[in-house]
Structure 1
Amino acid sequence: MAERPTMSWRRGVAEEAQELAAGTLDSDCACMAALFPDELLVATDAVLGTFEAELPALAEDDDAQIFAVVERVVLALNAVNDARNGCAFETGEREELCAYIDEALTERGVDVVALTARHGIGRYELTDKWRKW
């Protein structure tokens, strides 16, 4: 299964905490805990867990069903972002989330390139219709 972006975010928070504890990082340079508070990670993981739970039931040739699943995950991530005043996901995190959605669908057998082409959009526009983050 595609690795959730929250896994690398959690690793970054943990590594930074270790560096702070060891005195190898100045607290003025620490930012991971502020960027990725536990509430954000838990909320994002819940959304991604729901998305992952929907994947096995997807018919890889049912465009409407696939887009409905993408819409639900994107709208749920919008809600997570809104709960943090629109500041939950920076550019890098947005790219990671979009790549994760693409990779998870691909692993399920969805040809994302063909899917998006059939609808006149590029592969990297899969989430654009609903995404506010």
Structure 2
Amino acid sequence: MTDRPTSSWREGIEEERRELAAGTLDPECACMAALFPEALLGATDRVLDAFEGDLHTLQGASDERIFAVVERVVLALNTVNEENGGGAYETDEREQLCDYIDRALTEQGVDVVALTARDGLGRYQLTDKWRDW
């Protein structure tokens, strides 16, 4: 399974902690823990757990079923974003989450380019219809 964005966010927090402990990072420059509080990481992981559970049901699924799974994960991430001040997912995080959704679908055999094209969309518009973040 493709790596979740939350894994790299947690790694960034740990790296920052190591640098602070070693004295190689100015505490005023430390921001990872503030950007990614455990409540946000945990809520995002719960959403991605459900998404990954849905992925296993997509073998040979219709476009409508695939889009329903995408819609469900995006709406759930909208909720997490709102519950965390409405700005939890900045530009980099949005790109990472969208890329994760795309790669996860691809790993399950979904041709994302063909799927989106059949719906009149470009590949990178897969989540746009529902995404608030």
User: Which range, TM-score by smaller chain?
Assistant: over 0.9
Are 1:38 and 2:38 matched, yes or no?
yes
Alignment of 1:79-98 (within 5 A): 79-98=79-98
Gaps of 5+ in 2: none
Aligned length: 133
CA RMSD of aligned residues (A): 0.7
Please report the TM-score for the alignment, with normalisation by the length of structure 1: 0.98
Are 1:19 and 2:19 matched, yes or no?
yes
Alignment of 1:43-122 (within 5 A): 43-122=43-122
The 8 Å contact of residues 59 and 108 in structure 2, kept in 1 or not, is answered as: no
Q: Deviations over 1:10-58 (max 9, x none)?
A: 0000000111111111100001001111111000000001000111111
Gaps of 5+ in 1: none
- Percent of pairs identical after alignment? 68
Aligned residue for 1:57, secondary structure, equals: coil
Deviation, 1:61, is 4.4
Please report the TM-score for the alignment, with normalisation by the length of structure 2: 0.98
